[in-house]
Amino acid sequence: MSTFRQVVDEEEQETQEFKTAREAFTAPTFFIQLCVPLSGPVSHGVTRAASPPPARSSPPPSLPLSCHSCITMAINFGINFGWEWASLSGWGNKQDKAAWPGIPVWGLNNAAGSCLALDMPLTTFLIGFMCSLLGTGGTQKEVRERKCKMLASHVCEGGWWRYTPVKVRNLCNRSLCVGLFVTALIGAPSFLLAWAVVGGGLFAGYEYTIFKALWATFVSAVVYTLVYPAAIDRFYFSDLLFEDLHKKATRLNVPPLVAQPALI
Claim to verify: residue 245 and residue 132 sit in the same structural domain: no
Does residue 5 sit within a domain? no
Claim to verify: residue 175 and residue 119 sit in the same structural domain: yes
User: What local confidence, expressed as pLDDT, does residue 14 receive?
Assistant: 57
Does residue 182 sit within a domain? yes
**Residue 198 sits in which domain range?**
69-232
Band (252; pLDDT cuts 50, 70, 90) = low
Task: Kindly report, residue by residue over 190-239, the tens digit of the pLDDT.
Answer: 999 999 999 888 999 999 999 999 999 999 999 998 898 888 888 888 88
Does residue 222 sit within a domain? yes
Task: Kindly report, residue by residue over 43-90, the tens digit of the pLDDT.
Answer: 444 444 444 444 444 555 666 778 888 999 999 999 999 999 999 998
User: What local confidence, expressed as pLDDT, does residue 240 receive?
Assistant: 83
What integer best gives the mean pLDDT of the chain? Answer: 78
Does residue 54 sit within a domain? no
Does residue 118 sit within a domain? yes
- Which alpha helices (H) appear in the chain, and where do they start and end? 2-23, 27-35, 65-89, 116-134, 137-144, 153-156, 171-182, 188-198, 205-231, 238-251, 256-263
User: Is the alpha carbon torsion for 122, 127, 128, 134 positive or negative?
Assistant: positive
Does residue 225 sit within a domain? yes
Claim to verify: residue 228 and residue 244 sit in the same structural domain: no
Claim to verify: residue 83 and residue 152 sit in the same structural domain: yes
Q: Please, are residues 181 and 164 in contact by the beta-carbon 8 Å criterion?
A: yes
Claim to verify: residue 73 and residue 157 sit in the same structural domain: yes
Claim to verify: residue 202 and residue 259 sit in the same structural domain: no
Q: 24-27 long-range contacts, Cβ below 8 Å, gap at least 24?
A: 25/155, 25/158, 25/159, 26/159, 26/160, 27/160
Mean pLDDT across 228-254: 79
Burial 163-193 (b: 16+ CB within 10 A, else e): ebbbbbeebeebbbbbbbbbbebbbeebbee
Higher pLDDT residue, 43 or 160? 160
Claim to verify: residue 168 and residue 245 sit in the same structural domain: no
Claim to verify: residue 172 and residue 254 sit in the same structural domain: no
Does residue 91 sit within a domain? yes
Domain count, the chain: 2
pLDDT higher than 90, residue 247: no
User: What local confidence, expressed as pLDDT, does residue 15 receive?
Assistant: 54
Claim to verify: residue 131 and residue 243 sit in the same structural domain: no
Does residue 151 sit within a domain? yes
Claim to verify: residue 249 and residue 125 sit in the same structural domain: no
3-class state of residue 57 by DSSP = coil
Q: Please, are residues 37 and 61 in contact by the beta-carbon 8 Å criterion?
A: yes
User: What local confidence, expressed as pLDDT, does residue 104 receive?
Assistant: 94
Claim to verify: residue 254 and residue 177 sit in the same structural domain: no
Claim to verify: residue 207 and residue 96 sit in the same structural domain: yes
